[in-house]
Chain A
Amino acid sequence: MIRKLLIANRGEIALRIMSSAKELGIKTVVVFSEADRGSMPVQLADEAYCIGPAKPQDSYLNMAAIMSAAEISKADAIHPGYGFLSENPRFAEVVEAEGLTFVGPSPQHIRLMGDKQRARKTMEELGVPVLPGSDGVVTRIGEARRIAEKIGYPIILKAVAGGGGRGMRIINSPAELEENFKTAQREAYLAFNSQDLYIEKYIERAHHVEVQIIGDGERVLAIGDRECSMQRRHQKIVEEAPSPFISPKTREKMLETVERAAEKLGLRSLVTFEFLVDEEENFYFIEANTRIQVEHPVTEQVTGLDLVKDQLLIASGEKLGYSREDVKTFGHAIEARINAEDPRTFTPSPGKIHFLFLPGGNGIRVDTAVFQSYEIPPFYDSMLAKLIVHGRTREEALRKLEVALLHTSIVGVKTNLPLLLSLLKSPKFKSGNYTTRFLEEEFIW
């Protein structure tokens, strides 16, 4: 069993990990930047060490400083949380090379999933559907034409060096391809210093649905799905479990497919497989995340599992204590991310919280690290709290969420509470059939 766990993260996830660790009787150590000296994780951990200045590169991404803190505190395991070093295979390797336990998948699996082309190829070989597209870089227009004919329009031209929504062009017809191919190459060259493009089928009305995997390296289980289509700027703001869009038949097929592939890979710890699902419920693998997800609580609420606790037990060498039949899903859970940001422009709004009231009660869970008089530092992400509701039905969960949001009061900084409340009035959101374009392109308020 892990004796002393170093948590290499901050904010709500640091507290989330700390709670499960303490429950298991594991001593906790947090590392923090100068900007987080007054934070709750620092106050509540058994030990806390300042590892550098506010900038993430100098503190939460500083491997040497984190390893040095592990050495000083005699921690025997490191939990990376999400973001920061959580999906850095080099970090996982360093942790293991120092003889410590890395709470997460193996470095090889982190590396595999981090290479998007290799991950896609591996999944395809393991029988997981991937988006039809080119097999690597497309350099000539003749080749592009041939691939487009084969997979069908619309297609999307993507710069290999692009990402985060940049360097993409949607092509609807052969004429548009002729018109745009060379321009896209030139653009990619100017923006990313590489004119390499690849082609993927473009799904106009796509749902983002993901599958949660838990494994001990031998037994691997797909324990449920989450709908994460409510996004702005590729950032999720509302997540649900189970997905209100896919049918039980599709769900069964998705979980089955993912479980088989994950078992063949021998995945350990928590991994999430992300899919695009089209209107006909065809699903295509996009990527796999080799860490705990921000939205893990919705899965916990409907299954009754404690994913972080299981993650710590697996890291301690224990075998999964349950099988697929033991995982029962009950009711519906929804998470709303409350961010310190302008609800219309999405510009972050750091500053001091002068007054704070967070809701609680039946079926309501709040994961947060903020408190009244807390000063939100401008160096990190703007998420203040995750409000998670659980009801017997989706309708009940929606009502609970509305009441809980109305009972939330945050004074001093701008928040997206008004946006979340108007979302709950939207018939489209209520219907449960909304795509990744809904929030940014269709929703008017």
Chain B
Amino acid sequence: MKIEEIKELVDFILSKPVKEFEIEVEGLRLKLVKPKQELAAAASPEARAAVQEEDREEKSGEEIHYITAPMIGTFYRAPDPSSPPFVKEGDHVNKGDVVCIIEAMKLMNEVEADVSGVVKEVLVENAQPVEYGQKLFAIIPDND
């Protein structure tokens, strides 16, 4: 099996609500055992994404801080459609800077960075619904 094929297979298994998975092809044996939490979480696409992000974090080995949604609502990257986004990948943010808006019940709620650092990744598309606690930005915190 090629490494690409294994990666694809692992991603596929992670997306299914199965507890254990075992396969043997061409002398290669692969066994996957999911922790309980992931199993339960596999049902929602957002949670699935979160699980995969965690994996990425572990692999890269660098410390990553996530800014999460403080409420359920619609995620906006800019104050209005004609403005540039508050932040983009590679930008440096200071603690307290507004990074996005979550609209809930027709109210625009500004979300502030709870840490200073560099934006590694914006995890949600503009104008998408987000749940409470959903990861919005991956930040590499400054070293003090």
Contacts and interface: CB of A to CB of B under 8 A. Distances in A.
B124 interface: no
Contact of A43 (B43, B71, B104): B43
Contact of B41 (A37, A51, A53): A37
Interface in B92-144: 104-105, 129, 131-134
A373 interface: yes
B133 A34 contact: yes
Contact of B132 (A34, A38, A42, A373): A34
Nearest to A47: B44
B89 to A, nearest CB: 25
B91 to A, nearest CB: 27
B132 A50 contact: yes
Question: Shortest 10 CB-CB distances between A and B: which pairs?
Answer: A38-B40, A68-B104, A50-B131, A72-B129, A50-B132, A43-B43, A52-B132, A68-B72, A51-B72, A68-B73
Contacts of A51: 72, 131-132
B136 to A, nearest CB: 14
Nearest to B70: A52
Most buried by A among B17, B39, B105: B105
A59 B40 CA distance: 20
A64 interface: yes
Contacts of A71: 104-105
B133 A65 contact: no
B132 A65 contact: yes
A72 B73 contact: yes
Contacts of B41: 37-38
A65 B69 CA distance: 12
B132 A48 contact: no
B95 to A, nearest CB: 22
Interface in B56-91: 71-74
A67 B71 CA distance: 12
Contacts of A401: none
A333 B39 CA distance: 38
Given A38-B37, A38-B40, A72-B73, A50 B105 contact: no
Contacts of A67: 105
B128 to A, nearest CB: 9
A65 B133 CA distance: 12
A69 interface: yes
Contact of A37 (B47, B71, B73, B105): B47
Interface of A: 31, 34, 37-38, 42-43, 48-53, 59, 64-65, 67-69, 71-73, 373
Given A67-B105, A68-B105, A71-B105, A48 B71 contact: no
B44 A42 contact: yes
23 contacts: A34-B132, A34-B133, A37-B40, A37-B44, A38-B36, A38-B39, A38-B41, A42-B43, A43-B40, A48-B43, A51-B72, A52-B132, A53-B132, A59-B132, A65-B71, A68-B71, A68-B72, A68-B104, A71-B104, A72-B72, A72-B74, A72-B129, A73-B129
Nearest to B19: A373
A67 B74 CA distance: 12
A38 B129 CA distance: 20
Given A48-B43, A68-B72, A68-B104, 11 more contacts: A37-B41, A37-B47, A38-B36, A42-B44, A50-B132, A51-B131, A52-B72, A67-B105, A68-B73, A69-B72, A373-B36
Contacts of A69: 72
A48 B44 contact: yes
A68 B71 CA distance: 9
A27 B1 CA distance: 42
Nearest to B106: A71
B72 A65 contact: yes
Interface in B13-44: 17, 36-37, 39-41, 43-44
A245 B131 CA distance: 50
A50 B71 CA distance: 9
Contacts of A34: 132-133
Contacts of B40: 37-38, 43
Nearest to B107: A64
B43 A65 contact: no
A38 B105 CA distance: 27
Contacts of A48: 43-44
Choose among B36, B41, B43, B134 the residue with the greatest number of A CB atoms under 10 Å from its CB.
B43
